[in-house]
Amino acid sequence: MIVELPDTTVSAVAKRLVTLREDGGAVALGRVLTLVISSEHGQEEDAIHAANEASREHPMRVIVVSNEVTPGTVDRLDAEIRVGGDAGASEVIILSVFGAVATSEESLITGLLLPDAPVVAWWPGKAPADVAHTALGRMAQRRITDASIGEDVLATLNTRATTYTAGDTDFAWTRLTLWRAQLAAALDQPPYEPVTKVIVSGASDSPSTILLAAWLRRALQAPVEQVETERGSHDTGIHSVTLVRDSGEVSIVRPFTSTSATLKLPGQPEHEIALPRRSLRDCLAEELRRLDPDALYGDVITTGLAELLAESTTK
């Protein structure tokens, strides 16, 4: 069910939500958190779809603030409420704000939050430089950004590093989960030798490639060589990782268009392993599984990245 409330107020939206629950029997107590999505007009549907899919694992209330601050725009709040089949296992409230109304996110959201439920904030597009100290960021236990948005991914990662606050995370890091698991499993087999060199290959516009190199540099305390592939329509993300040891090389290679990779271990036949690219829904669902700060991401983004960049400048 979709209910449209043009030129309305937050109070009217909250009252309509109560009416919908009473009429339809929706149980607000079944919601485990509030997800607040900060977007721009016309760019919110992909994020809403991902939230709807993730809500089947994490029933939640989704509040979308879709803003337009073009000078001369008449101040107005239009709202849309989606429940039932149009909202997955969540309640979706879309607040389309125009003019000066867009500058007061806190007052827009506060009256719609679930009582005593944690708040997660997500910027699916371009995010503020310091998300933790925005009005929305101060309300949230977890704050999700995506460093792959934008042209200069290294500058974006540096911004995330200098403004990092416990509770921040980024989808560029979340996309590494399967890679980190496969690499850890490969090293958990004999012979248990130290890694003397790491080679990470990936697209030049991939922040995940940079974070993977930073994580490996910090975890293995080994020098890292980064090999950039040319940027193209299909050349995205991580291509391969090679770990050099005295007994031979351990490597994982994934073609850019494939959902599987080839694992090579010394003295063993090649193995084909599942290594699919993670969808927006997969990344969001993973981040919603934990509401405590991701200490490992914090260490990699603040310290590991600096160590990697310092190493690269000395070569």
Answer for the pair 198, 217: CB distance below 8 angstroms, yes or no.
Answer: yes
Over its C-alpha atoms, the chain yields an Rg (Å, rounded) of: 22
Q: Which residues pair with 68 in a beta bridge?
A: 98
pLDDT value for 233 = 45
Report how far residue 175's alpha carbon sits from residue 286's, in angstroms, rounded to the nearest whole number: 10
List Cα–Cα distances, 135 to 108, 138, 288, in angstroms: 11, 5, 21
Token readout for 245 is 């040891």
pLDDT, residue 102, reads 65
The pLDDT averaged over each successive group of 10 residues in the chain (315 residues) is: 92 90 60 91 91 90 84 82 77 88 80 92 95 95 94 94 98 97 93 95 92 97 90 72 96 90 94 95 95 96 96 74
Edge-to-edge strands of the sheet including 271-274?
A: 224-229, 197-203, 238-245, 248-253, 260-264, 271-274
Burial of 61 (0-12, 13-18, 19+ CB in 10 A): buried
The answer to whether the beta carbons of residues 59 and 32 sit under 8 Å apart is yes
Q: Count of CB atoms within 10 A of residue 255's CB?
A: 12
In order of 86, 136, 210, 312, the CA distances from 241 in angstroms are: 41, 37, 12, 17
Nearest to 134 by CA among 65, 81, 34, 55: 65
DSSP 192: -
The 8-class DSSP code of residue 55 comes to T
CA dist 19 and 255 (Å) reads 52
DSSP track, 151-183: S-HHHHHHHHHHT--TTEEEHHHHTTHHHHHHH
Encode 203-227: b = buried (16+ Cβ within 10 Å), e = exposed: bbbbbbbbbbbbbbbbbbebebebe
